[in-house]
Amino acid sequence: MGQIVGIDLGTTNSVVGVVEAGRPIVIANSEGTRTTPSIVGFTKDSEIVIGDQARRQLVLNPKNTFYNLKRFVGRQWDELDDISISVPYNVKSNDSGSVRVLSPFTEREYAPEELISSIIRKLVNDAETYLGDTIDSAVITVPAYFNESQRQATKDSAVLAGIKVDRILNEPTAAALAYGFEKSSSNNVLVFDLGGGTFDVSLLKISNGVFDVKATCGDTQLGGNNFDSKIVDWLAEKFLMKYKIDLRRDRQALQRLTEAAEKAKCELSGLQKTKISLPFITTSDEGPLHIEEEFDRKLFESLSQDLLDRLFEPVQIALEDSGWDAEEIDEVVLVGGSTRIPMVQQLVKTLVPKDPCQSVNPDEVVAIGAAIQSGIISGDLRDLLLNDVTPLSLGLETIGGLMKVLIPRNTPIPVRQSDVFSTSESNQSSVVVQVRQGERPLASENKSLGKFRLSGIPPAPRGIPQVQVAFDIDANGLLEVSATDRTTGRKQTVSISGGSNLNEQEINKIIAEAKSKATEDRKKRSVIDRKNNALTLIAQAERRLRDASLEFGPYGAERQQRAVELAIQDVEEFIDDDDPRELEISVSALQEALFGLNRRFAAEKKIENNPLQGIKNTFGSIKDELFSDDYWDDDDDPWDNQMNSNYRNSRYGNSRNEDPWDNDYFL
């Protein structure tokens, strides 16, 4: 059985963690960093690149490099705001209104879930390499204010990556788990989570290993990217006024502006002012044009006032729902890189009169919490209990277009609620159950999660039939709805997955396609790795030959040096060959030849402490000189043939040394 990991699937960066020896840790990726950029791209050869590799091609290949994908997950096109779709790559709506991302290099369109699955797969692969074991399942975090569609879409992404989701965990709740781990005191905690693309606030009571979520609220279209956009717009407007050129219409220029804005935002967290310099941002009839602007913290704060106002309201709503006063909060935990912005920290202090906790890493705390939850599921961690809540109200659309709430927001989960409904017309034989999620009184203004029809109701006057509708929410926050006609016992059940960008057929198709290409992808990767390893070995061998020339002179270790040189020639001959076996054999021979040369180096170090070894070395040097090619200018030299025979035997697996000069009897 494989292991369970915790994954923080972030808008900007993603992190994977695991429990080892009873403690949660973050696993570094294959590049050696603890966070992986949530970026997916395609090269001109249609090869997929993920993380840092994808980030490096953002400016030069903006149409085929995709970021901020989390904002598109489980959402319809008409639900997105202007900032979300203001990206350098092409985003469109398909026939059903779902979001699709286009890649010119591969000449196809992708659902956001499909691209995000590649990020999950990379995180899992890196974790498997570190653990030396397979990973079958994971705990994946989502913003607390994600609705049912977005949670289901996140689960779909994991399925496409070949991973079972044991738990969908709210990000602020995960952060609270990490904060309260090994703490025995009782605290009321406010978790303020402002990431790259989403904002959440949650209130929890932590007491002796019990984590009880009291209320949660947030905004899934507000994050650090919105602050970056303020700087981008300011730069673009100034440039437009000066040169009459809108840089936001140029994909490469827009990407450079975005990167410069993010850098300036980060620098202003520690400085009062910074300089934004973008040479050769574009060209005009007069030649190349540049951006050189001073940008200070005061200006940044004035541009971002509306965003601060949007942060204020969810905190107030969460406090009202919990029934707590701000003075009752014992600790404030800041989560997400955007909480490093000084004006955000000052806002939090005005809402809750406490200095924020600095004992957790905002970038890693969610992954640590997810790892803790994975440890609870696997049984590695005990005496911990998590009680979560549903973030939004759930109900039905009734006659007149009103919303009938069955499960109010911030209800503890898992939960089951039901109510009895009837027909609106006489002799009505079926009813349509339309499931909605949201806080508005009119059903049409809330998110539609799906609908189904319950048929076979016996004819009866209006209001007589009784249809019991039940809502079940599991620990992941996923919803199942059932409707039962009490007269006939006829029942209809549906698991809500409406709103996901992929239906079941599309998911199965993508999985089948990935499986069919898995062998081919592994072969390509194997060829590349084998070639890179061979080139590395050649470079090492050449350096060792130079060291040998300096250490022994031209004749001191000629036999070993000659063997290495011949082996290098063989590797170079087969490095571009289609037959992997020949390359493997030649690489093996080069490794053995290098071992022989290194052994000669080691033997030389013993000479000073062993006089007899010095005598042996002297005779060996005389032998090498007498039977070298320079001394015997004869192609039929038996000693030279013997050496070549020994090398070839070594290359093809016969490591027996038959050189008579290496026999100890000659001492």
For the record, the structure tokens of 472 come out as 């079940």
Please say whether the beta carbons of 140 and 100 come within 8 A. Answer: no
What is the DSSP track for 195-259? -SS-EEEEEEEEETTEEEEEEEEEETT-SHHHHHHHHHHHHHHHHHHHHS--GGGSHHHHHHHHH
β-partners of residue 479 are 473
148, 171, 364, 570: the catalytic one is 171
Distance of alpha carbon 115 from alpha carbon 73, whole angstroms: 10
Distance of alpha carbon 204 from alpha carbon 193, whole angstroms: 13
End-to-end CA distance of the chain: 58
Q: What is the largest CA-CA distance in the chain?
A: 117
Please say whether the beta carbons of 150 and 380 come within 8 A. Answer: no
Distance of alpha carbon 404 from alpha carbon 419, whole angstroms: 10
171 is an active site residue: yes
Planar angle of CA 634, 637, 640, nearest 5 degrees: 115
β-partners of residue 139 are 6, 167
Owner of token pair 């904060």 = 179
Distance of alpha carbon 307 from alpha carbon 265, whole angstroms: 14
8 is an active site residue: yes
DSSP 111: -
Please say whether the beta carbons of 453 and 428 come within 8 A. Answer: no
228 is an active site residue: no
Distance of alpha carbon 382 from alpha carbon 536, whole angstroms: 47
Half-sphere exposure of 459 (CA within 13 A, CB side): 1
Contacts 24+ apart (CB under 8 A), 249-255: 250/282, 251/62, 251/63, 251/88, 251/89, 252/59, 252/60, 252/62, 252/88, 253/281, 253/282, 254/62, 254/88, 255/58, 255/59, 255/62, 255/88
114, 193, 228, 331: the catalytic one is 193
Residues involved in catalysis: 8, 70, 171, 193
